[in-house]
Amino acid sequence: MIDIHVHVLPGVDDGPRTLEEGVAMCRLAAADGVETLVVTPHQRHELWANEEPAALTAACSAVQERLGGAPRLLLGAEIRVDGDLLDLLAGDGGRSVVPLAGSHYLLLEFPPFPTRLPPSELAQELAIAGWRPIVAHPERIPWLAEDPAALEALVAAGALLQVTGSSVTGGMGRGAAECCEWLLDRQLVHFIGSDGHNLHARPPLLSPAFRAVAAGWGEGTAQRLLCENPARVVADAAIPGGG
């Protein structure tokens, strides 16, 4: 499996505090069957701006060095959406944000309150500019999760949806689980990521979600959401039926 949403870089956001914990998280993921982690520190968040991609690259290299060759780490970011994002991307061609694994895929985190620009319009603008927007855990953003029309419009506009593994398995509450079920029933989910933040409360595990999706929606769907589509992100290739 490939995890496209996980926080393992120490000291840059609300992920691990130490290099040791970050390394232990990666080893836990590897033992769970994850061979590649696209690590996604928060970026442009009000608490964790992480404006210097070079600093994140260095932090990623430090963890990889301690791990040796496996699991493989690739750098990305979870980019907070605000009213300036489109102008920023247009202004510097995206040099100040970190796409997933050097691809054209951007992992976007919508704020907990509705944005002035409707999400589907943002997705459309990003797609026109050549980006492939992925919306991080819409099931955990109440104003999106409670608006089925907005979720459908997002996908229709070219966005891809990543839900969190522990949401699917019920660890994030009934509302998040029901939203995931609704999305999975309509084939509106493109990826499952762990959104792991630490070793114990939010561990970087994917196999429980793989089993839950395989049981409810078939082994092929689990393969697609946890292995095949994430591999296409790493290869910067299009997702069939999406984007």
Take residue 67 and report the two structure tokens written for it: 């791990």
Cβ closest to Fe ion, residue 136 vs residue 217: 136
Q: What secondary structure letter does DSSP report for 224?
A: I
Q: Which residues bind Fe ion (CB under 5 A)?
A: 78, 195
Query: Are the C-beta atoms of 16 and 7 separated by less than 8 Å?
Result: yes
- Nearest approach, Cβ of residue 145 and Fe ion (Å): 16
Measured CA distances, 98 to 11, 15, 102 (Å): 18, 17, 7
Give the span between the Cα atoms of 176 and 181, in whole angstroms: 9
Residue of minimal Cβ distance to Fe ion: 195
3-state helix, strand, coil in the chain (%, to 5): 45, 15, 40
- CB of residue 119 to Fe ion, shortest distance in Å: 17
Three-class SS of residue 23?
Answer: helix
Least distance in angstroms from the C-beta of 97 to Fe ion: 15
Q: Which is nearer to Fe ion, 119 or 217 (CB)?
A: 119
Nearer to Fe ion (CB atom), residue 39 or residue 151: 39
Which one-letter amino acid corresponds to residue 54?
A
Tally of CB atoms within 10 A around 196: 30
Nearer to Fe ion, 124 or 135 (CB): 135
214 touches 1 (CB < 8 A): no
Q: What stretch of H or E contains 156?
A: helix 148-156
The token pair that represents 20 in the structure block:
């040791």
**Nearest to Fe ion of 139, 195 (CB atom):** 195
